[in-house]
Amino acid sequence: MRLPVTYLKPGMKLSKPVYGNSGELLLNRGIELTTKYIKSLERNNVVVVDVEGPVPLDEMEIKEELSVQLRIKTMKKLHSFAKESNGIHIYEFMDSVEALLEEVLSGKGVTDHLVDLCSSDLYTFAHSVDVCVLSMLCGMKLGYDKEKLLALGIGAILHDLGKTLIDPEILNKPGKLTQEEFEVIMTHPLKGWQLVKEKDGDALSPRSKAVILNHHERYDGSGYPRNLKSNQIDPFSAICSVADVYNAMTTDRVYRKAFPPHEVYEMLLASGDIKFNKDVIRAFLSCVNPYPVGTYVKLSNGKIGCVVSQNDSLPFRPRVKVIPSGEILDLERELSLVIESVLSHEKIKELFYA
C-alpha cells in the first residue's frame, strides 16, 4: 500500500525500495522503519512510499498536511455515509468537498499527495476523493464557477457509492470476471443513485445525482447502464468518467498493476470523441502530467534519468536529471531527444545498485 510519508510510523516495513531525486537508493525494500529513517525520508523530500499490508482507516492519525488531512477526513465521512444507516448527513461532507475545492482553486497540486490505498473499501474511498479533485480541476479548466464546481465535486465524490453494496469478493476478484459477475458490477451506478435518493434525496442537485448514475456511460454509446450517447450524457458525468478512468488505471489494483501515467495519457488522447468527449479530454489532460516528477525514464540517447520538473506547455518534454552524472537535460530545449521508455524502480535498482 502506498502512504504519504506523514503517515509513516516506526515498525512499518517498506514493500518497495525508496530512491532520491537523483536516483540514489535511500532505503531498501523490507527495511523496518524507525523514527530516524522516517526523518531521513522527510529530509530527502520523499512524498509517498510503499509499505507492507493495509492500514485500517481508523488507525490513520490526522497530521498537519492539509491535503492529506482533508483526504482522510473526507474518506472517513464518506465511509460513515455509506456504511451506517443512521450515519452522517450529506451536508456534513459537503463541507469537506468545499474545502477540497478551496485547495483546487488555490492551485495546490493534485498529484502531490495521492493516497493510493489498495485494500477493498479503502480503495473505493481514496479513489472517490481523488476523482472528486481531478473532476473539479477539469471543471476549472472548462471555466466553471464555484457553485458548478461544488455540484460537480459532490457528484464525483459519490460516483462509486453503489460499490459499497456490491459483494467485495466480486469487486476485488484477482482474476477475470465472469459475465455474471460483470453484470453484478454493472449495477453499481443505479444502486448508488437509488441509495442517495433514499438517504438524502433532496439535499443533492439533480446534476450531482446524475453523475452517480451516468459515470460509466461512454460518448459512443458503449457504456452502461443506459447506453446513453454523446449529448445525452451530461457534462458533469462526462468529466467524472474521464477522471474515473484515469485514476483507476494509474492505481495498482488487486487484479492488475497500475499503468504508467504516460500510457493512460496517450490512451485518453487517442480516445477523444470515441469513448469520451474530446473537449473534456483536452481540458482533463491539461491538468495531469504524462511523466510525473519522480518517474524514471530512458532517453533516445541511451541516458537514464529521473523527471525532476515539468514544462507546462510541453507535457511530454519535462526536465530530466541523468543518473549517475546529475546532469539536467531540459527536453523543451534538447529537441533531438525524446523519452523512449519508462523504467520501474526495480529496473533502476538492477541497473545501478545490484
Distance separating the N- and C-terminal Cα atoms of the chain: 25
C-alpha cell of residue 326: 546529475
Closest contact distance (angstroms) between CB of 18 and Fe ion is 29
Of 288, 7, 336, 322, give the one whose Cα is nearest residue 133.
Answer: 288
Instruction: CB nearer to Fe ion: give 149 or 212.
Output: 212
Exposure letters 168-193 (e unless 16+ CB within 10 A, then b) = eeebbeeeeeeeebeeebebbbebbb
Instruction: CB nearer to Fe ion: give 235 or 305.
Output: 235
Please, are residues 271 and 241 in contact by the beta-carbon 8 Å criterion? no
C-alpha cell of residue 242: 474521464
- The residue type of 90 is I
C-alpha cell of residue 237: 458525468
Whole-angstrom distance, CA of residue 336 vs CA of residue 302: 13
Phi/psi of residue 34, each to 5°? -120, 170
Closest contact distance (angstroms) between CB of 222 and Fe ion is 15
Whole-angstrom distance, CA of residue 136 vs CA of residue 126: 16
Closest contact distance (angstroms) between CB of 8 and Fe ion is 27
Instruction: CB nearer to Fe ion: give 160 or 217.
Output: 160
Could you count the other beta carbons within 10 Å of the beta carbon of residue 22?
A: 14
Please, are residues 139 and 287 in contact by the beta-carbon 8 Å criterion? no
Closest contact distance (angstroms) between CB of 244 and Fe ion is 4
Of 113, 120, 14, give the one whose Cα is nearest residue 68.
Answer: 113
Closest contact distance (angstroms) between CB of 270 and Fe ion is 21
C-alpha cell of residue 114: 495521492
Closest contact distance (angstroms) between CB of 282 and Fe ion is 21
Could you count the other beta carbons within 10 Å of the beta carbon of residue 256?
A: 10
Whole-angstrom distance, CA of residue 75 vs CA of residue 307: 30
- The residue type of 197 is K
Instruction: CB nearer to Fe ion: give 192 or 235.
Output: 192
Instruction: CB nearer to Fe ion: give 4 or 162.
Output: 162
Closest contact distance (angstroms) between CB of 131 and Fe ion is 6
Instruction: CB nearer to Fe ion: give 150 or 185.
Output: 185
Instruction: CB nearer to Fe ion: give 22 or 172.
Output: 172
Instruction: CB nearer to Fe ion: give 116 or 160.
Output: 160
Instruction: CB nearer to Fe ion: give 151 or 245.
Output: 245
Could you count the other beta carbons within 10 Å of the beta carbon of residue 312?
A: 10
Positions touching Fe ion (CB under 5 A) are 160, 244
Closest contact distance (angstroms) between CB of 89 and Fe ion is 23
3-state secondary structure of 226: coil
Closest contact distance (angstroms) between CB of 242 and Fe ion is 11
